Amino acid sequence: MKSVKEICIEGFEKNFVEKPDFYSYAPGRVNLIGEHTDYNGGFVLPCAIQFGTCMVARLNGTDKIRCLALDMENDFDEFEISRNIVKNDQKLWANYLRGVVYQFCERFEGKIRGLDIAIKGNVPKGSGLSSSASLEVCLGTLLKGAFNLEISPMDIALIGQKAEAYIGMKCGIMDQAISANGTADHAVRIDCKSYELTSVKVPEDALILIINSNVKHQLVGSEYNDRRESCEKAARVIGVPLLRDATMEMLEKVKPQLDDETFRRAKHVISENERVLLASEAFENGDLKTLSKLMYESHVSMRDDFEIVVTQTDTIVNLVKEALNADYAPARQTGGGFGGCVVAVVNSEDAKIVGQTVMARYHELTGLNAEIFVTRACAGAHFEKV
């Protein structure tokens, strides 16, 4: 079978009738724990996965970026390199790229030149595994490499985050940060206030399962930004800059001043932050039992307090619990919410039982088909000359 890179090179040669000079790749991610904590300055524990976005490119001698999306029936977009790149109302995918180039032009004026780019990815779209972050980081890594720019992986991630804001999604830094900074065989705990990164080794006997509910999530919308506003409101009432700086006691004190919904959303974030710290310690020590309890608590908190869990992902988590005949499922809905995937951390024996149970029962309960992958924890983005 041909690799994504080979397909991308072939697609480039066929359409641009030249050979590409540059290659870049950036992975998607799965978040083990720490949901909606990033934009609150808190902690997250994701790892980069073996699905990602690949680009191959060549200087085209113009002042235009020309992009070909091989996965989207060769859809094409071109735009001038400038500090005033406007959005393309017809093509959402292209706006992620426009947003990244626009940020690079602001920071590296005069250094970005025309490129022809072919793009191919294999992150399942709408699965909550960050296909858009991998697209942004892949392009940032390509621009850095092609034009020898002085920029760190974390700054590329920050540019990706700004590209999302340009489109209307006020996301946090997690997805882009892990895509740029992933470490092979490790999850990475990210302090989203200081941007400090701590690698946490995946225990020998642990498998990371991704179970796709096939309920497509679409985050560029009001639900995400609405949750963010609630968190900001709670922080204001508590009197801290970010919910990261608040404790449960501080939240309890202002309970009478908050509506129930805002209170529960803040409760999720504050408790989730604590769970991430405990979970990374448990993960480091190979204590899958404690990890399991924390993952399940995270899921319940997202479901009952933060209200971002759909019935289908909840069904999967319950099936995992049932399969293992346990009090807690080592599983939770992962990512922004409203569908997408469930992540589970299990040993190989349990992985088999979980796989069989989900495959046997999910369709019957929901009418949908689940897909299950085992992922390695992968390295972050890279660039090379072809």
Which residues contact ligand GLA by CB under 6 A? 35-36, 38-39, 171-172, 174-175, 335-336
Which residues does the annotation mark as catalytic?
175
The 186-191 sheet, strands edge to edge: 43-44, 186-191, 197-201
Amino acid at 248: M
Minimum distance from CB of 169 to ligand GLA (Å)?
7
Q: Which C-beta is closer to ligand GLA: that of 112 or that of 171?
A: 171
**Contact of 36 with 308, CB cutoff 8 Å:** yes
What is the smallest separation between the CB atom of 221 and ligand GLA, expressed in angstroms?
A: 12
Of residues 207, 11, 271, the one with CA closest to residue 121: 11
Rounded least distance, CB 129 to ligand GLA, Å: 9
Name the nearest CA neighbour of 373 among 127, 134, 53, 56: 127
Nearer to ligand GLA, 174 or 188 (CB): 174
Q: From the CB of 303, what's the least distance to ligand GLA, in Å?
A: 14
Place of tokens 């019957």: 364
Q: Sort strands 75-80 and 64-69 into parallel, antiparallel or unpaired.
A: antiparallel
CB nearer to ligand GLA: pick between 171 and 324: 171
Residue closer to ligand GLA (CB basis): 23 or 306: 306
Q: Minimum Å distance from CB 96 to ligand GLA?
A: 12
Contact 328, 200 (CB under 8 A): no
Question: Which of these, 227, 273, 280, lies nearest to 247 by C-alpha position?
Answer: 273
DSSP readout, 110-146?
TT---EEEEEEE-SPTTSSS-HHHHHHHHHHHHHHHH
Identify the CA nearest to 383 among candidates 77, 67, 149.
149
Nearer to ligand GLA, 35 or 77 (CB): 35
